[in-house]
């Protein structure tokens, strides 16, 4: 059925056209007959016609203007113009409005019928095209989760799936493939582990569509399936600057976290490094997992960690034993107690002995494989790791092998702790120095985090965890100490001193000064000023 609206200020012409339509067509329904442009606009809004037969020369709003207004609200409507005037200007404007035909009065029955049949065929063609597009879109939406699963599996399982990933990106119509991986873990943590992975996985699976919708609404991304209690996501991001990449990633994840925490499941998110191409997505995935692992044993109270904020270099983990051992190693570093990692190794070593012995060579190979993850770490820390590995190779008995491995582990933990402390002290010193040198400037969380190359979200928590005070309190103390110097050593007024130490509002400065110094700035100047 096609809805028709007839608009003409001549009653006879209105009735004639309506009569022809009712006589010749059963598939056309006349929704109304109007005699002015204004009435036509109002009727078109309420009936949303498929075809409008419109006279041009009418009092008030003419037919051309009425068509412009109606087209705004109903872009698919078809217009047939009828007019007693064969004016060139009218015809030109009618063409500009995409009019289907321009008929001169008096309209002949055959011409009107032929024109309506032509327009109905055009409407049918558009409807068929729209239906096919909707069917195709619906099918694509149905297969999209399968494609996304394949994409994420290629990232997680294969480190050389570049060709497959690029093919997926072409299907997804991604213009750029640069981005990063985030690993989302569901469930309440206890001792570095999720209490009930299966229970958390079942619960999060029920809410999977909610997480999927949140992610799709805040960024362009590919969302994988729920893997027990984890969700892996590849987020497209074209940021080029390193700090901006980190800042953008954290902002996106914080937005997700803020909305997702309303679903009442505790979540942690590890963010992998940015990759210029999807070819490097596997590396970003590994980094996201390592950031997630560091979150589980970190003393810093946060649920989001970017890989670039991990303070120590670690080796990769592959097997179940290696994963268990590396977690203990991180815990040893965090607690500054090498015994934690040594005990974990001895437990694993005992199980390997029961599984492998009496094949001592195989036991040695497994032990070396377990320890080799530290090789890069030892190089970075300046340790002679070749000597340590040599001691392991020279072992002739299981007990000798165990002692040599434990010696390597203790050395690695101690050196990592030392390196971590130096890195932490370096970051704190750099942040403090920046505040001391720029106290008169407008220092923000973003500016100081950029200076030490940490993300703002992580830096604020890191600084508080390592120093016991918020960085803003530290900045305030520095500024007030500088203000004391200016008040006691110069003739500057309190208003001038306020600006010199970075506070544009003297009243606010005065309140802070009294809070920290215990007396007002005026009293301090009177007592200690020259």
Q: What is the pLDDT of residues 468-495, one digit of tens each?
A: 888 888 899 999 889 888 888 888 888 8
Looking at residue 62, the DSSP 8-state letter turns out to be: -
**Contact (Cβ atoms closer than 8 angstroms) between residue 214 and residue 204:** no
Helix (H) / strand (E) containing 6? strand 2-7
193-194 and 189-190 as β-strands: parallel, antiparallel, unpaired? antiparallel
Distance CA 189, CA 168 (A): 35
Mean of the pLDDT values across residues 298-309? Answer: 77
pLDDT-derived band at 122 (thresholds 50, 70, 90) equals very high
**Contact (Cβ atoms closer than 8 angstroms) between residue 251 and residue 219:** no
What is the structure's pLDDT at 313?
37
**Contact (Cβ atoms closer than 8 angstroms) between residue 225 and residue 242:** no
Residue 174, C-beta contacts closer than 8 angstroms, at least 6 positions apart: 220, 236
Mean of the pLDDT values across residues 43-64? Answer: 90
What is the structure's pLDDT at 320?
58
What 3-state class would DSSP assign to 87? Answer: coil
CA of 174: how far to CAs of 39, 165, 222, in Å?
A: 47, 11, 11
What is the structure's pLDDT at 382?
45
Q: Which residues, in sequence order, are bridge partners of residue 306? A: 271
Q: Which residues, in sequence order, are bridge partners of residue 268? A: 185
Distance CA 14, CA 41 (A): 17
Mean of the pLDDT values across residues 124-147? Answer: 82
Mean of the pLDDT values across residues 163-178? Answer: 89
What is the structure's pLDDT at 315?
39
Say whether the peptide bond before residue 17 is cis (omega within 30 degrees of 0).
no
**Contact (Cβ atoms closer than 8 angstroms) between residue 233 and residue 218:** no
Least Cα distance to 71 among 102, 93, 92, 88 occurs for 93
Question: If you average pLDDT over each of 128-142, 270-284, 343-357, 372-386, which comes out highest?
Answer: 270-284
What 3-state class would DSSP assign to 169? Answer: helix
Distance CA 496, CA 494 (A): 5
What is the structure's pLDDT at 91?
60
CB neighbours (10 Å) of residue 109?
13
More confident residue, 321 or 25: 25
pLDDT-derived band at 119 (thresholds 50, 70, 90) equals very high
**Contact (Cβ atoms closer than 8 angstroms) between residue 517 and residue 480:** yes
Least Cα distance to 498 among 489, 490, 508, 488 occurs for 508
What DSSP line would sit under 14-43, residue for residue?
Answer: HHHHHHHHHHH-SSEEEEEEESSHHHHHHH
CA of 323: how far to CAs of 75, 114, 348, 349, in Å?
A: 60, 77, 11, 14
Model confidence over 412-433: pLDDT tens digits? 777 777 777 777 788 888 888 9
Q: Counting Cβ atoms within 10 Å, is residue 156 exposed (0-12), middle (13-18) or buried (19+)?
A: buried
What DSSP line would sit under 216-264, residue for residue?
Answer: HHHS-EEEEEEETTEEEEEEE----SHHHHHHHHHHHHHHHHHHHGGGS
Percent of the chain clearing pLDDT 90 (strictly above): 23
Distance CA 482, CA 497 (A): 9
pLDDT-derived band at 79 (thresholds 50, 70, 90) equals very high
Sign of CA dihedral 250, 251, 257, 258: positive
- What pTM was estimated for this model as a whole? 0.52
Model confidence over 199-233: pLDDT tens digits? 766 787 888 989 999 999 999 999 999 888 889 99
What is the structure's pLDDT at 367?
80
More confident residue, 421 or 125: 125
pLDDT-derived band at 378 (thresholds 50, 70, 90) equals very low
Mean of the pLDDT values across residues 344-356? Answer: 78
In SS3 terms, 376-438 reads as: HHHHHCCCCHHHHHHHHHHCCCHHHHHHHHHHHHHHHHHHHHHHHHHHHHHHHHHHHHHHHHC
What 3-state class would DSSP assign to 80? Answer: strand
230-236 and 221-227 as β-strands: parallel, antiparallel, unpaired? antiparallel
At 276, list the tokens. Answer: 């210029």
Mark residue 41 as left, alpha or beta (left: phi above 0; alpha: psi -120 to 50; beta: remaining).
alpha
Least Cα distance to 436 among 470, 473, 469, 474 occurs for 474
Least Cα distance to 34 among 63, 1, 75, 73 occurs for 63
What is the structure's pLDDT at 380?
47
């Amino acid at each position: 059925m096609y809805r028709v609206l007839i608009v003409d200020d001549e009653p006879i012409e209105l009735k004639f056209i309506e009569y022809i339509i009712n006589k010749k067509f059963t598939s056309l329904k006349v929704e109304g007959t109007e005699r002015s442009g204004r009435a036509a606009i109002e009727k078109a809004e309420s009936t949303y016609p498929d075809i409008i037969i419109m006279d041009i020369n009418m009092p008030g709003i003419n037919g051309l203007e009425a068509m412009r207004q109606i087209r705004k609200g109903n872009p698919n409507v078809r217009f047939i113009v009828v007019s007693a005037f064969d004016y060139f200007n009218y015809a030109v404007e009618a063409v500009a409005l995409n009019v289907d035909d321009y008929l001169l009065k008096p309209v002949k029955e055959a011409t009107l019928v032929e024109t309506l049949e032509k327009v109905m065929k055009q409407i049918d063609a558009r409807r068929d095209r729209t239906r096919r597009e909707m069917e195709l879109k619906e099918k694509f939406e149905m297969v999209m989760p399968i494609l996304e699963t394949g994409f994420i599996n290629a990232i997680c399982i294969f480190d050389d799936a570049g060709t497959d990933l690029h093919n997926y990106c072409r299907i997804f119509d991604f213009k750029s493939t640069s981005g990063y991986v985030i690993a989302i873990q569901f469930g309440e943590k206890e001792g570095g582990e999720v209490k009930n992975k299966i229970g958390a996985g079942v619960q999060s699976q029920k809410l999977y569509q909610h997480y999927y919708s949140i992610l799709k609404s805040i960024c362009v991304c590919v969302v994988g399936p729920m893997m027990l209690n984890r969700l892996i996501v590849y987020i497209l991001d074209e940021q080029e600057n390193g700090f901006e990449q980190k800042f953008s990633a954290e902002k996106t994840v914080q937005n997700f976290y803020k909305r997702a925490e309303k679903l009442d499941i505790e979540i942690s998110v590890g963010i992998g490094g940015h990759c210029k191409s999807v070819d490097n997505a596997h590396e970003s995935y590994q980094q996201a997992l390592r950031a997630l692992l560091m979150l589980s044993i970190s003393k810093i109270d946060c649920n989001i960690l970017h890989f670039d904020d991990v303070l120590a270099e670690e080796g990769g983990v592959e097997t179940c034993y290696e994963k268990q051992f590396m977690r203990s190693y991180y815990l040893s570093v965090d607690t500054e107690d090498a015994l934690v990692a040594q005990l974990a190794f001895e437990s694993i070593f005992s199980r390997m002995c029961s599984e492998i012995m009496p094949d001592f060579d195989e036991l040695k190979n497994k032990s070396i494989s377990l320890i080799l993850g530290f090789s890069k770490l030892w190089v970075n820390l300046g340790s002679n790791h070749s000597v340590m590995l040599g001691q392991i190779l020279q072992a002739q008995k299981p007990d000798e092998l165990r002692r040599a491995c434990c010696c390597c582990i203790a050395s690695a933990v101690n050196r990592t702790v030392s390196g971590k402390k130096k890195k932490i002290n370096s970051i704190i010193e750099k942040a403090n120095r920046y505040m001391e040198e720029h106290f008169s400037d407008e220092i923000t969380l973003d500016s100081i985090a950029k200076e030490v190359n940490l993300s703002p979200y992580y830096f604020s928590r890191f600084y508080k965890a390592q120093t016991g005070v918020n960085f803003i309190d530290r900045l305030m103390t520095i500024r007030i100490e500088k203000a004391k110097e200016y008040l006691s050593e110069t003739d500057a007024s309190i208003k001038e001193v306020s600006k010199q130490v970075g506070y544009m509002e003297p009243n606010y400065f005065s309140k802070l000064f009294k809070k920290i110094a215990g007396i007002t700035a005026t009293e301090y100047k009177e007592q200690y000023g020259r």
